[in-house]
Amino acid sequence: MSAAQPILVFGSTGQVATELAALPDTFCLGRAAADLSDPKACADAIRAHAPRAVINAAAYTAVDRAEEDEALATTVNGHAPTSMAAICHELGVPIVHISTDYVFDGGGTQPWMPDDATQPLGAYGRSKLVGETGVRASGAVHAILRTSWVFSAHGANFVKTMLRLGAERDGLSVVADQIGGPTPARGIAAACHAMANQLIAHPERSGTYHYAGAPDCSWAEFARAIFDMSGIDCAVTEITTADYPTPAVRPPNSRMDCTSFTQTFGLPRPNWRASLSKTIAELEQTQ
C-alpha cells in the first residue's frame, strides 16, 4: 500500500463529503459511480480503486422518510457499509464509517459513551445500527464515528434553514427540550481524514468513537446564536418536542462523550460557535 494511493470517499454532494473533497489525497465517489443501494457495486469500487483507506460519508439521511422506506434506508445505511468493510478486510485497508446519535434512545441527561447500550427509536437509527454492526463484524481495521447535528455552508441543514426563515419572519418557535452538540461538517471531515491515516499506522486504534461540537445546547439556543451572529432580528419562542410532532421520534438527549476520541486521535472537540461564525461568513460571501 502506497502513500500515493488516495483515500476513497463514498459520497460527493453531502455536507461532510463536500468538505472531504477539499482535503488532500481524497477521491470522492458520487452516486453515479457507486450507488449505496447496490452494496456489491460499493465493494467493486473499492477493489477497482485500491485505495489506502476508505471513508464512508454517504448515507440515507431523510430521517422522517425512513419511517416509510426502512428497507432502502437499511440497504444504504446498513448493508452497503457492511459490504464496504468486508472488502476492506480482504484488501487490508482501514475504513472510517460515519454514524449517528440516533442509535441511542435519547434517555437521561448524561453524555452517551461509545460503549453504552444502543436502542434506536426509529427506522433511521435502526438502519445506521445495522451498518455499525456489519462494520465491526467484518474484521476490517475500522473506526465508527458517531456524530450529531451536522451543519455547514453546503446542503440542507438547520443553520441554513434558520437563516432563511429568520429573514422572512419576526419570530420562530424552536424546540428547547432536545439537547446536543452542533457539529461542523468541516470538523467531521478533518477528523475522518486524520483517523483514516492514523489507522493505517495504528490499527489497534480500531473502535467506536464520538465526535460532536461543544458546548451542548438546545435547538432553541442554537437558533438564537445563529440570529445573533448573522444580525437577524428574529425572536425565538421555546417549545417542546410534543409541540412539534414529526413522523420519526427525535432523541431528546444527544449529548456525546468525546473523551476517547480526543485521547486516541489527539484532536479536540470543535467549538461550534467558532465554526458557526465561519459558516455564516462563508454563506454571506456566496450571496
244 is catalytic: no
Q: Yes or no: say if 248 and 124 are a contact pair by the CB < 8 Å rule.
A: yes
Among 60, 124, 209, 211, the one annotated catalytic: 124
36-50: burial string, b at 16+ Cβ within 10 Å, e else? bebbeebbebbeeee
In whole angstroms, what is the distance from residue 7 CA to residue 40 CA? 19
156-185: burial string, b at 16+ Cβ within 10 Å, e else? ebbbbebbeebeeeeebebbbbbbbbbbbb
Phi-psi category of residue 266: left, alpha or beta, with phi > 0 → left and psi -120 to 50 → alpha: left
CA angle 209, 19, 87 (to 5 degrees): 55
Q: Yes or no: say if 121 and 106 are a contact pair by the CB < 8 Å rule.
A: yes
The DSSP secondary structure of 139-156, one letter per residue, reads ---EEEEEE-SEE-SSSS
In whole angstroms, what is the distance from residue 271 CA to residue 259 CA? 15
In whole angstroms, what is the distance from residue 185 CA to residue 207 CA? 21
Backbone φ and ψ of 34, nearest 5°: -155, 95
62-85: burial string, b at 16+ Cβ within 10 Å, e else? ebebbbebbebbbbbbbbbbbbbb
For residue 155, the Cα-to-chain-centroid distance in whole angstroms is: 13
CA pseudo-torsion sign 31, 36, 41, 44 = positive
- Give the active site residues: 124
